[in-house]
Structure 1
Amino acid sequence: MSEKDPKSTVDASRRRFLAGIAAAGAAGSAGLSACARSEPTTAEQLMAALPNPQDSGIDHIVVVMMENRSYDHFLGWLPGSDGIQAGLKYPDKNGEMQSTYPLAPEYQGCTLEDPGHSYKDGREQYNKGKCDGFLKTVNDASVTFPIGYYTQNDLSFYGGAAPAFTTCDRYFSGILSSTFPNRMYMHTGQTDRNSNGFDISSLPTIWDRCAAKGVSTSYYFNDLPITVLWATKYLGISKPFNDANLGLVGFIADCKNGTLPNVSFIDPNFGLAVGEGYGIAQDDHPFADVRDGQAFLNQVYKAVSTSPNWEKTLLIINYDEWGGFFDHVKPPVGLVSDAEKAVGNLDGRLGFRVPCLLIGPRAKRGHITHFDFEPNSILDLIRWRFGLDPLSVRSDKVNNLAIALDFKNPPNLSAPVFNVAPGPFGQLCVNQLLDTGHLPGVPSLPIPELGKSAPAMTPEVYQSRLDHFADWQNLYDMGVQYGFIR
């Protein structure tokens, strides 16, 4: 079942981000009136009713952050949620109206340019609240990829997990910008960059707050460590997700052994070993096959749900940002830190909605929560549970994700099994122009072994691949430099 939405206006929604957890009031401007509902209780009342954190039954919080998908694009099919897929129309660069459409059986944007999702692109797509510019930021005017969508039958893990557990249909990314600023938001509750920059950060993180109170932590990565953006500061807590060949203890082993830390973040395989531009990745980036992302999430879920720690674990799945894909809900604004003001983020506009699932014995079953959430909501949940100090200007000024959990009933230890094929599925997105020599660990491209074809790319698509490679390559080089990657 689902909650009813707060009766709030968009302005009231903004005030929740600007001035704290407010009483629920009207939801939506005229353009959003169709999704207005009423909560049985306000966020403020739910927060006041939370149990003593030590009695919450949650000792382990696991956060997985995937890449570049919007809510409507990925979960707009979910019954009872504020999602729309079929029937929307958006103007293209020539002024012609184009309709949203199902993407399957195409599961990766192998020959398509990466939809725009920069700070500038996001504001063009937002278009002063019209939220109609998703086809205005493509290079090729004929491209309609940003307004395509996937349905329940296309997404084997979400198709089962979203209806089974709790889904947030108003979870917004932290800033209307690209990957690095939003991944900074997940660790810090703010950002010190508006684009994918590589300057070493001095912002305090949730890892600092945990360390100050003796809360155990781990950051598990596959091929690229985001924590390297703080140089060696978090080298000690950064571990491989799973590397049985090297005998290293990672997330899978910690789940199996019942040794999960109190707080852990997981980043997926971004595909650098073969190259996301080639398609072999599990992060849900448009260059990757979404079925590989589903397989990865199911792997995480199976590890957690079969762990001795399951009874007291909460698994949170979210996305860094919307990736340039359509979403019909106008994102609110939030408080802006001094660090963000210094790099030019003055409007405080949050990013478009992204998928967010809550999974575990304390997650409500078959539930949709309509409260506004963002990365600081997750950080506030962690801070609430473990008694941590404030982290950013939005700390305690947003809805704590804990209000979406079930503390009234005994924990539900059942863990449904979902029919998810392990893959791999992604084809090699290459052509003869692509030089693989600069990629670590890839002396030659293994096309014969995988038996995949190499679809042609336009120059624009090829350039978007190179730009994306450059970002990941720089991060990889930093990982080697600071000892994360050996």
Structure 2
Amino acid sequence: MATLALLFAALPGLATAVLASNIPTNASESDWRSKITNVVVLIEENRSFDTFAGGLTYNSSIDGLLHHNFCNSLNASDPTEMADICSGPLAADISYDDPNHSISGFNMALFSTYHPDEELVAAAPAWKYQNMRGFVTEQSVTFDTVNKSRAAEVMNYYTAEHIPVFNAMAENFVLFDRWFAAVPGPTNPNRAYITSGTSAGHGYNDDAFNVYGLPQKSVFELLSENNITWTNYQNSTTGPGLGFNPDAAFYEWTASSGANITNIKPLQDFYNDAAAGTLPAFTYINPECCSYQSFHPPSPISLGETFIKGIYEAVRNSPQWNTTLFILSFDESGGFGDHESPPVGVPAGDNLTYTETAQDGLNITFGFDRLGLRVPTLLISPWVGKGLIENKGQNFGGEYTHTSILNFLSELWGLEKLTPRVEYSSTFEHLILDEIRGEDSSPSILPDPVAW
């Protein structure tokens, strides 16, 4: 107890981080669980791995576009049409066309049809039916254009010079190049999977997300049950028609428990709490969407870089830095291209399905048994290696996907695993080092963003 008292005195925010009873009884000083008492999660918006991070060059093992000739055609349904629209380092600071990222839109992008045979898909390797040739076709249909340069915007990528902030983070910590979105669909179903392990059958951004309408148990409820502190810091809007709710506001429990009053706070409180060393055990951050912080088109990339730079520097210079694991990811790929086929036949969060009408007027039904495209994901902490590339998942037999965060939290704090998808997802505690990195090994200030 004396040791804990000294530790709390040295790190003021640690006292609010997690009750000692939540640390597994077999944890020792060398156990990874004893090193991480604060987890910060920031989920940005709508960028695929290839288009955002596929042009990074600091590590030759990155599975990006420097090693692949990734091309599509205007008409993916015609196998004889030459795939002559190829990815290039030409992505714009502002993407004026927001690609179709509905579930049916992803079907076209991945399968070159709105109506893949789901039984055949589930029985075969992902790459056999997901030819990844329909991104440009979907862009052409959505924006009614045969202008190849305009349609190619869905495929073009950024270089390290375009995204110096993200590149510096990746160079200094761990980049996942095989981390998949939970759903091949839009924002809120993915964010529901991130925070509860299921979307409860929701496949688009319907009003249920804006009126505390989801019935399932969330990570926020789970943490409260276990007396683990949490805050959803947010710069979102609330209510139907006003934009995107902060993710904790998706759930019935959040309103009925009063946590919407006590645990959802304005973004400025995050910066204040980080500086004071009083961040809770679990920090979850919602950016504004979709004009200047989130990377979601038409948000400028340079302004998104300004935002993540500020979040990183607040965490890095907080008194709680030496006990913190910061996870930065993107909720989904936003319809932008990626060459890697997402896994199929994975456990869903529940047994619910979702049906929507595709652009050809016919219905498609989705069972949440396929993952979305790869998204850029970073693991940031003085307890992880420098410049590492993490590829295929190593724990629990599954892939890295958004519910890997929930499974990691379950392992960290001994929590219930909310859904089969959570149980399936690979965790990443093996990346936590035996010894903390030196104070000078992590930059306290990142480069300034650039506009072009």
Residue 412 of structure 1 and its aligned partner are, at CA, apart by: 4.1
Residue 342 of structure 1 and its aligned partner are, at CA, apart by: 6.0
Q: Which moved more, 1:79-88 or 1:170-179?
A: 79-88
Aligned length: 358
The aligned runs of 1:172-251 (5 Å cut-off) are 172-192=180-200, 193-199=202-208, 200-224=213-237, 225-230=246-251, 232-233=255-256, 234-235=259-260, 236-242=262-268, 250-251=269-270
Whole-angstrom distance in 1 between the partners of 2:49 and 2:33: 33
Q: Report the secondary structure of 2:137's partner residue.
A: coil
Whole-angstrom distance in 2 between the partners of 1:165 and 1:386: 23
Name the counterpart of 1:358.
379
Whole-angstrom distance in 2 between the partners of 1:184 and 1:339: 15
Whole-angstrom distance in 2 between the partners of 1:422 and 1:123: 34
Tell me if structure 1 keeps the 8 A contact 2:316–2:444: no
Residue 363 of structure 1 and its aligned partner are, at CA, apart by: 1.6
Name the counterpart of 1:91.
73
Amino acid of the structure 2 residue aligned with 1:320: D
- CA shift in 2, pair 1:155/1:195, >3 Å: same
Q: Which moved more, 1:159-168 or 1:335-344?
A: 335-344
* 1:327 paired residue among 338, 346, 358: 338
Name the counterpart of 1:348.
369
Q: Deviations over 1:444-464 (max 9, x none)?
A: xxxxxxxxxxxxxxxxxxxxx
- CA shift in 2, pair 1:165/1:54, >3 Å: closer
2:327 equivalent to 1:316: yes
Name the counterpart of 1:369.
390
Tell me if structure 2 keeps the 8 A contact 1:50–1:403: no
Q: TM-score when scaled to structure 2? A: 0.75
The aligned runs of 1:407-446 (5 Å cut-off) are 408-414=434-440, 415-421=442-448
Whole-angstrom distance in 1 between the partners of 2:226 and 2:195: 17
Residue 120 of structure 1 and its aligned partner are, at CA, apart by: 0.5
Q: Report the secondary structure of 1:153's partner residue.
A: coil
Q: Structure 2 regions of 5+ residues with no counterpart?
A: 1-27, 112-128, 238-245, 356-364, 393-398
Q: Which moved more, 1:95-104 or 1:126-135?
A: 95-104
Residue 50 of structure 1 and its aligned partner are, at CA, apart by: 12
Tell me if structure 2 keeps the 8 A contact 1:108–1:286: yes
Name the counterpart of 2:279.
260
Q: Report the secondary structure of 1:283's partner residue.
A: coil
Q: Structure 1 regions of 5+ residues with no counterpart?
A: 1-48, 243-249, 427-486
Q: Report the secondary structure of 1:61's partner residue.
A: strand
The aligned runs of 1:141-152 (5 Å cut-off) are 141-142=146-147, 143-152=151-160
Q: Deviations over 1:248-303 (max 9, x none)?
A: xx1001101100111111111215xxxx3xxxx11001211001111110100100
Amino acid of the structure 2 residue aligned with 1:409: E
Tell me if structure 2 keeps the 8 A contact 1:134–1:146: yes
Taking only aligned residues, the RMSD between alpha carbons, in angstroms, comes to 2.3
- CA shift in 2, pair 1:213/1:156, >3 Å: same
Tell me if structure 1 keeps the 8 A contact 2:317–2:444: no
* 1:337 paired residue among 334, 344, 349: 349
Residue 77 of structure 1 and its aligned partner are, at CA, apart by: 2.4
Q: Deviations over 1:305-340 (max 9, x none)?
A: 100000000110000001111111111132013353
Amino acid of the structure 2 residue aligned with 1:255: A
Amino acid of the structure 2 residue aligned with 1:100: S
Amino acid of the structure 2 residue aligned with 1:340: L
Q: TM-score when scaled to structure 1? A: 0.70
- CA shift in 2, pair 1:282/1:347, >3 Å: closer
Residue 404 of structure 1 and its aligned partner are, at CA, apart by: 2.9
% same residue: 27
Tell me if structure 1 keeps the 8 A contact 2:384–2:432: yes
Amino acid of the structure 1 residue aligned with 2:104: K
Name the counterpart of 1:66.
44
Tell me if structure 1 keeps the 8 A contact 2:332–2:373: yes
Amino acid of the structure 2 residue aligned with 1:126: L
